[in-house]
Homo-oligomer: A and B are copies of this chain.
C-alpha cells in the first residue's frame, strides 16, 4: 500500500471527518482508561468489554455475576460499581482470568464512535513501543483517536499521539496537520512528560480528585507489551 495516511483525530467530535472504515484506529485516553486497559490485559484479564452507558454496564450483573463491573464518570468511580479506571484496580491479583465490563467518560465513547474501523487497538505510554512495532507491520491507513475530555482537545492524549508519530517516522506515512502538531508537542514535552503536563487544567482537576499516583503511573513508558484489540464486543490480547 502506497500513500498510507497517518492522521490524528484530536477529539471524538471530529471523527465524522475521517475515513474510519478504511483505517486501523488507535484509541488514546491516557488519563486513565486506555492506560488501565493496557495494564489489565497485560495482567491477564480475559477480556474487557467497553460500553457507552453506566446502565449497560450494570445490566451485566444478573447474567454474568462473575464479571467485574467498572464505571467511571467525571474521574470518579460510580457508586455501586466494583471499580472505575484507576490502573491500580487492574493488577494481576484483581483481574487475572477475569472479564471486565468498562464504561468511562471519554475512552469508551471514542471507541464506540470508531466501531466501523478495520481494526481497533488500544494505546498508552505503557505499551508505546510494542504498539508501534505492530503498527509498522500493518499495511494500512492509521488513525490515532484522542479521547480528549468531553469532546474537547486535551494535551496528554495528543502528546501520546505525537509519541506514536515519532516512532513511525521514516515509515512513509503521509501526515496531516494534527499529526505534525502532535509530534511537535511531544518533542516539547518528551524529556519530562509529568512536568510538561502539570500545566494543563486537566492535571489540576485530576489532582483535586486525589489521583496523582494514577497520573504518574500512566506516564510510565514501555512497562507492558500486550496490545489490546477489539474482537467482537471485547478487547482481548492481540495474539
Q: Does A145 contact B (CB under 8 A)?
A: no
Among the stretches A6-14, A130-138, A164-172, A228-236, the one at the interface with B is A6-14
Known: A181-B181, A185-B181, A185-B185. A152 touches B199 (CB 8 A): no
Stretch from A32-40, A97-105, A113-121, A153-161 that touches the partner: A153-161
Is there an interface contact between A188 and B177, defined as CB atoms closer than 8 Å? no
Q: How far, in whole Å, are A153 and B200 apart by their CA atoms in the complex?
A: 20
Cβ contacts A59-96/B at 8 Å (1 or 0 each)? 00000000000000000000000000000000000000
> Is A1 on the interface with B (CB-CB < 8 A)?
no
In the complex formed, the residue of B with least CB distance to A11 is B14
Tell me whether A10 and B185 are in contact (CB under 8 A): no
The reply to whether B181 and A155 form a contact with Cβ atoms under 8 Å apart is yes
CB atoms of B151 and A177 under 8 A apart = no
**What bracket does the count of chain A residues touching chain B fall in?**
20 to 34
Residues A181 and B158 in contact, CB atoms below 8 Å apart: yes
A184 at interface, CB cutoff 8 A: yes
Residues of B close to A11: CB separation below 8 A: 14
Type the 1/0 row for A139-159, where 1 means its CB is closer than 8 Å to any CB of B.
000000000011111110010
Contact mask for chain A residues 179-199; partner B; CB cutoff 8 A; 1 contact, 0 none: 011001101100000000001
Interface contact B150-A177, CB-CB below 8 Å: no
Cα separation A178 to B175 with both chains bound (whole Å):
20
The answer to whether B176 touches A152 (Cβ under 8 A) is yes
The residue in A10, A176, A177 that gathers the most chain B C-beta atoms within 10 A of its C-beta is A177
Partner of A150, one of B13, B17, B154, B155: B17
A13 touches B10 (CB 8 A): no
Whether, in the assembled complex, A201 has its beta carbon less than 8 Å from a beta carbon of chain B, the answer is yes
A151 and B185 contact, CB distance less than 8 A: no
**Nearest CB on B from A74, distance (A):** 16
Partner of A154, one of B17, B174, B177: B177
A202 interface hit (Cβ, 8 Å): yes
> Closest B-chain residue to A7, C-beta based?
B152
Residues of B contacting A150 in the complex (Cβ-Cβ under 8 angstroms): 17
Subset of 17 A-B contacts with CB under 8 Å? A10-B153, A13-B17, A14-B153, A17-B151, A17-B152, A149-B177, A153-B178, A154-B177, A155-B180, A175-B201, A176-B201, A177-B200, A184-B184, A184-B185, A184-B188, A185-B185, A187-B188
